[in-house]
Structure 1
Amino acid sequence: MKKKITAFIPFSGSKQTIALISSLQESELVNKIFLMIPKKGLPKIQGCKNLLVDNLRSSKAMKLISKNSQSEYIFYISKDSNIELGKYCLDRFYQVAENTETGILYSNYRETTLSGLTENLLIDHQFGSLRDDFNFGPILFLKTEAVRKAVVQNKKNYKFAGLYDLRLRISQRYRIIRIPEFLYSVEEKDKRRIDERQFDYVNPRNRNVQLEMEKAVTDHLVKIGAYLKPKFKKLDISEGAFNCEASVIIPVKNRMKTIQQSIESALRQKTNFEFNVIVIDNHSDDGTTNIIEYIADRDNRVIHLKPMRRDLGIGGCWNEAVQHPQCGRFSVQLDSDDLYSEETALQKIVDTFKKEKCAMVIGSYRLTNLNMEELPPGIVDHKEWTPLNGRNNALRVNGLGAPRAFFTPILKKIKFPNVNYGEDYAIGLAISRKFKIGRIFKPIYICRRWEGNSDADISPQKLNTYNSYKDKIRTIELLARQKYNRPKK
């Protein structure tokens, strides 16, 4: 069998890496092994060549890989991990690559923990898989021809976004395929819970990284015809007649522990306009209904809405509220776990609508537990959003922020998808395609994490479901933006 693979392995002196190198050297498929080292002075391994690399994901690293690959395929480990290849791992990667002529292959893998091996089932890559933290696992099997074409295209010298840019460019010409088999095992070094990792992109310490990622995805959107120029459809937010200026929308099911605090937080708002609170009680059976009725009986601003249908998710509940005849000009989010952090939050949101003439306003929030004790990362303000490019970069990040507020006539036309996760992201992307979105970068909202809500300690299986759905939403939105950009006949 001809030697078809050049391997590129991070090496910092680990004994486990030496064991991996030995297994690669035993394969008839491997032509040459390059060790990507962070500094000079590391020992040389017989049969391998050292490459000095400052960052495994930089453009410089991608260029070195392209230049030094002497085979049809590249076996690349994207981070310094303790990896053990499964039996015939390389053979399987090579077989699928030959049969499919794909640009990038990746596979499921097993994770070594103190309790043994756990299976890490990944999700399929889609047209809309634009997140820079998409989990391919640490091993990528790449077609050398695809890598070289992508490297030639890239005129920028990214310190952090080189690998991200590479895979986006490869996806423009080639398929990216997941092999649904567990081809290797890895010892995960990031021991944080999944829900603790999801805010890495809003961490100010990662700001330079995020700016590079934004440039890379923007270039990609331009290339595929999905980039939106900073031109927005004009909107008359004074149109229409409404019973009140704003409605606070609270979908709820079985939140006996938190619903009273949420409603009271809304009722405490001080405004120079009339508002109401529409609580959509989605067939609660834990005592939540009684609490809502008690408050509604004592304050006529509270509308207790009980939908007839039993197949409504959070998005479906929002649609019910928005279509209610007493829904105000602006519909403002308040989740049944959460609170407004100040009594002027609602006023600030409506003021932003009027000042910026936008279809949607998104605020900032502070993350806490149920006892109001701050949790990492603390304030989530999505400062990665810019007026000129925010709606393009929104396709890369995993959320838009909170609280979210909408010009009600727009919601009546577009409507939320009837799901329990990602409905807010979907509607935000759809609105931003044509209309301006306003931002409030100071926290006006408290998002409370506790064992009962959907984002607390997410299981890998649920995270896969969530991420796959959001990637599908991005796919739909990309296609819509491509269509929107085409010359009108």
Structure 2
Amino acid sequence: MTGIECFMPSLSGEDISVTVESLSRSAAFTGVTILSGVSLRSTETLRSIAEAVHDKFVLLYTKDKPLEMGMFALDRIISIAEDTGADMLYADHYTVKEGEDGVERKHKHPLIDCQKGALRDDFDFGSVLVFRTRSFKRAVKAMTQDYEWGALYDLRLRMKKIVHINEFLYSEIETDGRKSGEKQFDYVDPKNRAVQIEMEAICTEHLKRIGAYLPPCFKDPDPREFGDHEFPVTATVVIPVLNRVRTVKDAVMSALNQKCDFRFNVIVVDNHSSDGTKELLDEIDDARLVHVIPVKHDLGIGGCWNLAVHHELCGEYAVQLDSDDVYSGPDTLQKIVDAFRQQKCAMVVGTYQMTDFDMNPIPPGIIDHREWTEDNGRNNALRVNGLGAPRAFWTPLLRTINLPNTSYGEDYALGLRISREYRIGRIYDVLYCCRRWDGNSDAALDIEKVNANNLYKDRIRTWELEARIRLSSRA
């Protein structure tokens, strides 16, 4: 019979008993090794496992809480591994959470497929990872660099065939109860910087192995490539809006109050608001405000951006401002246009401050994306979950690329596409206040929405990855 060995961190005595008893219900289970005082995320630990394991499959359990396998779950995983020839497998599961009433309940925790472009180091595989031992040993043997935190990431990037079993095969205890809007900033938290340096190095080496790495050679924006463009103003602030009567005036006024040595305007694309937003905008008496209502009723945020960028009154530079946010001062627009001129770039990304509705700073504070470097930023952009804000674009190029007509990830897709050829400029001064309030659409998402968002961004990365591989192969 095919066997499977388990390796897991040290648990309390009772938790070990519960976990081992659960695993031992499968006849394929041959034993467990407790990894006391070492981390599964270190290369040294993976090497010791590779030397110790002898059965056909190896299971790594990554949590320090008790695990409960479902009925015949291990047998099911092994069966699918044999049928598919998978190198690595992971499965949907239940999470056990304590409710407000103090009662623990199981909640379904579905996962998503791991695509070629799923390069995020925080990809959710769950806590039960099963590997074909031959593939595991081959991957570990190929590791030439020792990592303290990124070894599991390095390992899974070396797996050729990863299979997602969309069946609920085990239960684990929830150990991170934060909202989705809080988790999304982990990779820019300064206290995680050392970890992120490792993850970037691992991802970069992976891109080199598969032929997707791009060296720091950039095209300069050249107006001659894009035909004749006559712009009525130098810069346009673009504000897509849908039912933001509480906040949109703050956004518009922060844009109109900019002090610049050039002409600018503000294009608000009102996506058929029904809460009084239209009427409020009509009351603002300023010739620089262009209020656009789409003819079409199928536009997402990206579609609203496309409408603004192709508008005859759009300026040479199109600058982002969300309808519930504000610029941090009257010099934001000037700094952005100066950056375009000084850094010879086709896109500029600034720094923002997280605040509450009343503009008081809140954690995680200033988001400056200092993980970005000119040498490797566009490669690392395939790993991280965002590029920062505010974002601004050179309009002639943007009119040829356009944004996906979506309301999530459209700006990230555009940033990846631009960075494939052009330099992205950075500003590390705070330019923008990102307001968190009960009306935010992304403050606390359920697992289905988080999965849908992550699946789409991974799809964007996959398409970009394939484009870069093709580009590199022609070089």
TM-score (norm 2): 0.96
Greater Cα offset, 58-67 or 475-484 = 58-67
Cα-to-partner distance string for 1:372-415 (whole Å, 9 max, x where unaligned): 12222111111111010000000001011000000001110000
Alpha-carbon distance in structure 2 between the residues aligned to 1:303 and 1:279: 6
One-letter code of the match for 1:315? G
The corresponding residue for 1:344 is 331
Query: Quick one: which of 221, 233, 241 aligns to 1:244?
Result: 233
Does 2:204 match 1:218? yes
CA distance in 2, matches of 1:459, 1:366: 25
- Whichever residue aligns with residue 243 of structure 1, its letter is P
Q: Shift in Å at residue 191 of structure 1?
A: 1.9
How many angstroms apart in 1 are the aligned matches of 2:169 and 2:16?
17
Cα offset, 1:234, TM superposition: 2.0
Residue 119 of structure 1 is matched in structure 2 by 108
Verify: 1:183 aligned to 2:169, yes or no: yes
Residues 414/17 of structure 1: CA separation in 2 closer, same or farther (3 Å cut): same
Instruction: State the alpha-carbon separation in 2 of the partners of residues 376 and 464 from structure 1.
Output: 24
Matches within 5 A, 1:15-94: 15-38=14-37, 53=38, 55-94=39-78
SS at match of 2:68: strand
Q: What do residues 101-122 of structure 1 show as CA deviations (whole Å, max 9, x unaligned)?
A: 1111000110112241110011
Tell me if structure 2 keeps the 8 A contact 1:59–1:158: yes
| In structure 2, C-alpha distance between the alignment counterparts of 1:65 and 1:429, rounded to whole Å | 37
The corresponding residue for 2:349 is 362
Number of equivalent positions? 467
Does the CA contact (< 8 Å) of 1:3 and 1:28 recur in 2? no
2-side partners of 1:86 and 1:356: how far apart?
56
> CA 1:11 to 1:82, structure 2 compared with 1: closer, same or farther past 3 Å?
same
Residues 137-194 of structure 1, C-alpha deviation per residue, up to 9 Å, x if partnerless? 0000111111111111110000011010010011xxx211111111000111112122
* Cα distance in 1 between the residues matched to 2:40 and 2:466: 32
Could you report, residue by residue, the CA deviation over 1:321-352 in whole angstroms, capped at 9, with x for unpaired residues? Answer: 00001100000000001000011010000000
Q: Tell me, what secondary structure is at the counterpart of 1:247? A: strand
Q: Give the Cα separation in 1 of the matches to 2:200 and 2:421.
A: 20
The within-5 A match list for 1:254-333 is 254-295=243-284, 298-333=285-320
Contact 1:236 1:357 in 2 (8 A): no
**Are 1:56 and 1:79, in contact at CA under 8 Å, matched by a contact in 2?**
no
* 1:378 alignment partner in structure 2: 365
1:43 aligns with none
Query: What stretches of structure 1 of length at least 5 have no aligned partner?
Result: 39-52
Residue 67 of structure 2 aligns to a residue whose secondary structure is strand
2:158 alignment partner, one of 140, 164, 169: 169
Identify which range, 154-163 or 5-14, moves more after superposition: 5-14
C-alpha deviation, 1:14, in angstroms: 4.5
CA pair 14-327 structure 1, distance change in 2 beyond 3 A: farther
Tell me whether 1:204 sits opposite 2:190 in the alignment: yes
Greater mean alpha carbon deviation, residues 83-92 or residues 399-408: 83-92
Aligned-residue offset at 1:237: 6.0
Indicate if the aligned counterparts of 1:365 and 1:403 stay in contact, CA closer than 8 A.
yes
Deviation sequence 1:350-374 (CA, Å, 0-9, x none): 0000001100000010111212122
For 1:207, give the aligned amino acid: R
Aligned-partner residue type, residue 188 of structure 2: V
Q: Which moved more, 1:404-413 or 1:141-150?
A: 141-150
Q: What amino acid maps onto 1:448 in structure 2?
A: R
How much has 1:300 moved relative to structure 2?
0.3
One-letter amino acid of the counterpart of residue 82, structure 1: P
Aligned-residue identity in percent: 48
Opposite residue 404 of structure 2, the aligned amino acid is: P
Deviation per CA, 1:221-280: give whole Å up to 9, x if none: 001111001000122369843111000000001100000000000011111100000000
Match of 1:98 in 2: 82
Cα distance in 1 for partners of 2:429, 2:6 equals 48
Between 190-199 and 307-316, the greater mean CA deviation after superposition? 190-199
Q: How big is the shift at 1:9?
A: 1.4
| One-letter amino acid of the structure 2 residue matched with residue 28 of structure 1 | A
Alpha-carbon distance in structure 1 between the residues aligned to 2:316 and 2:188: 31
Structure 2: unaligned runs, 5 residues or longer = 100-104
Select which of 132, 147, 153 maps to 1:143. 132
TM-score, with structure 1 as normaliser: 0.94
Partner of 1:192: 178
